[in-house]
Amino acid sequence: MTAAQQNNHLLIGTPAKVIAGGPVLMRTCRNIFEGITIAQQQPVDRVFVVYSEMPEPKLQALEALHQVCPKATICLLIQMVEEPGVHEWLRSCSWAKECLDYLICPLSVKALMPEKASGLQDVVGMTDDEQDKDRRIRELGAMVMQDDLTNLKNRRYLRQFLPAILRKAELSQCQVTLLLFDIDDFKHYNDTYGHSVGDAVLRQTAKLMRRCCRDQDVVARLGGDEFAVIFWDIPDGQGGASDRRSSSQNHPRGAVFMAERFRSEMCDTPFDQLGPQGSGSLTISGGLATFPTDAPNAQELLEKADQAMLEAKRSGKNRIYLVGQPI
């Protein structure tokens, strides 16, 4: 790869924060303002931006970068906790859908470079087999955090994401509400209709729950018929949420509303896989707990929500409980 070809890739920010595994094989600069200056002087094909080092408001900074290099792909290098906010950008901004992408850090230098870029093998010494192996490793890495039946996040993702979002919420003085729920008497339906029908019900439940949430809220399948939802707010200036619960007073009320709406829709949704009895036959029981009001950390938040869910079960099912009280 020639020097001119190599300069077509630009990294904005501190490489050590996001990249592991060797030197950076592209032009770098300290901040987005320097990046804009470089892009004005020399065309770039691909720009990598360390998300945590971007100035506020971040979306406007990215739009300014896009305006000086409209044909370049802009790839954000983000932490796991920042992923839902970036998803919201992709949904709400027309220009972002066309040119904005992201990678979850830490990652290797090889992951930054397009696999079929001209001359890549001469620089990093990767054969075709090695490139294919590197791609499969990244795909497996994504599978580790995703439930293969429902395409929701899985228990491992939730266990990593929840402490991270609580730290973020503490710094920004926001609240996070956790919902745990499962399908009432799911074992009966599984035993009666078979596991293939049970799997179809779980997939339909996942789609319904995802539809009832906002883009940044994280929905996960913990295993079996047990699910979790993390309701959280994107701090002001970090996203374009139209349904932001900005105050601590409104946050639990909003989470309760979405949880109750989902419970109601589960009751009204016809599950065709169950035949004539599938209409209005499935219900859920769940528990809600809020950080920091109900618990100071992730483990206690999970325990409090689980206790509330058990109370909902004991009280007759088909209901959502807040910690210490029904709704």
CATH of the domain at 73: 3.40.50
Domain shared by 283 and 252, yes or no:
yes
In the listed set 144, 167, 196, which residue is the last one of a domain according to the structure?
Answer: 144
Q: Which of 94-98, 132-136, 146-150 has the lowest mean pLDDT?
A: 132-136
Domain shared by 64 and 113, yes or no:
yes
Q: Tell me, what's the pLDDT at 58? A: 84
Domain shared by 132 and 189, yes or no:
no
Q: Hey, what are 118's tokens?
A: 């001209």
Q: Hey, what are 16's tokens?
A: 């050590």
Domain shared by 218 and 121, yes or no:
no
Q: Tell me, what's the pLDDT at 247? A: 37
pLDDT of residue 11 exceeding 90, the answer is no
- Average pLDDT value for residue range 166-181: 91
The boundaries of the domain holding residue 231 are: 153-326
Name the amino acid, one letter, at 228. Answer: A
Domain tally for the chain? 2
Domain shared by 20 and 124, yes or no:
yes
Name the amino acid, one letter, at 244. Answer: R
In the listed set 120, 144, 168, which residue is the last one of a domain according to the structure?
Answer: 144
With residue 181 as reference, give the H or E element that holds it: strand 176-183
Q: How much of the chain is in helix, strand and coil states, percent to nearest 5?
A: 50, 20, 30
Domain shared by 19 and 120, yes or no:
yes
* Confidence at 135, pLDDT banded by 50, 70, 90: low
In the listed set 118, 144, 170, which residue is the last one of a domain according to the structure?
Answer: 144
Domain shared by 116 and 163, yes or no:
no
278-311 tens-digit pLDDT:
666 789 999 999 999 999 999 999 999 999 999 9
With residue 223 as reference, give the H or E element that holds it: strand 218-223
Domain shared by 215 and 130, yes or no:
no
Domain shared by 315 and 181, yes or no:
yes
Domain shared by 174 and 317, yes or no:
yes
Q: Tell me, what's the pLDDT at 126? A: 44
212/243 Cα distance (integer angstroms): 12
* Confidence at 208, pLDDT banded by 50, 70, 90: very high
Domain shared by 82 and 228, yes or no:
no
Q: Tell me, what's the pLDDT at 142? A: 58
* Confidence at 125, pLDDT banded by 50, 70, 90: very low
Within 10 A of 229 (CB to CB), how many other CB atoms are there?
26
> What backbone phi and psi angles, to 5 degrees, belong to 40?
-70, -30
Domain shared by 274 and 313, yes or no:
yes
Higher pLDDT, 116 or 177: 177
Q: Is 230 helix (H, G, I), strand (E, B) or coil?
A: strand
* Confidence at 19, pLDDT banded by 50, 70, 90: low
